């Protein structure tokens, strides 16, 4: 993948991410206007969004792997899918925790999970594009 293609993929991933981040920018703005900064951390939407992002990227990579005729190791792909599924479960557990007994520690953890999901959105997004490109060459 040349530099121009990498920039195009990154631009596409940023555009997708913009639609993810807009509601959170609104959430932060509203919480700052109505309440205080602690309410931003204690909002359970962070963990719900992390769960959605992890699920979305896992689905994208899975579809890309299935579409390729490349020899992918079942064990490696199974390990990848298991790790991402675990992140989905951890995000949902944080969501349920924030709904039942919100704490600042759990709030910080869920924001961390959202940031981790954001990182994987870009990392796995590039992986998906590489698989799709390999599929188009075959």
Could you tell me which residues come within 8 angstroms of residue 52 by beta carbon, excluding any fewer than 6 positions away? none
Write b or e for each residue in 109-121: b if 16 or more Cβ atoms lie within 10 A of its Cβ, otherwise e.
Answer: bbbebbebbbebb
28 pLDDT higher than 90: no
48 pLDDT higher than 70: yes
Question: What is the count of structural domains for the chain?
Answer: 1
Sign of torsion, CA 98 119 55 16? positive
φ, ψ for residue 36, nearest 5 deg: -125, 175
For residue 92, give the nearest of 59, 44, 137, 130 by alpha carbon.
Answer: 44
Bigger pLDDT: 66 vs 50? 50
Percent of the chain with pLDDT over 90: 62
What number is the average pLDDT over the span 80-108?
95
Bigger pLDDT: 50 vs 135? 50
CA separation for the pair 20, 24 (Å, rounded): 8
Grade residue 70 by pLDDT with cuts at 50, 70 and 90. Answer: low
Q: Is residue 106 a contact partner of residue 97, using CB atoms and an 8 Å limit?
A: yes
Tokens (6 digits) for 135: 């599929």
The domain of 124 spans: 3-137
What number is the average pLDDT over the span 61-78?
76
CA separation for the pair 116, 61 (Å, rounded): 17
**This prediction's pTM:** 0.88
What number is the average pLDDT over the span 82-86?
93
């Amino acid at each position: 993948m040349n530099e121009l293609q990498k920039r195009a993929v990154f631009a596409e991933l940023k555009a997708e991410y913009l639609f993810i981040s807009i509601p959170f920018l609104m959430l932060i703005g509203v919480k700052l206007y109505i309440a205080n900064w602690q309410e931003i951390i204690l909002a359970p939407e962070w963990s719900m969004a992390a769960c959605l992002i992890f699920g979305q990227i896992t689905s994208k990579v899975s579809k890309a792997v299935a579409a390729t005729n490349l020899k992918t190791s079942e064990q490696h792909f199974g390990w990848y899918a298991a790790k991402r599924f675990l992140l989905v479960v951890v995000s949902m557990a944080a969501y349920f925790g924030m709904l039942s007994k919100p704490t600042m520690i759990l709030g910080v953890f869920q924001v961390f999970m959202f940031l981790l999901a954001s990182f994987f959105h870009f990392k796995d997004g590039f992986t998906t594009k590489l698989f799709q490109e390999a599929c188009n060459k075959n």
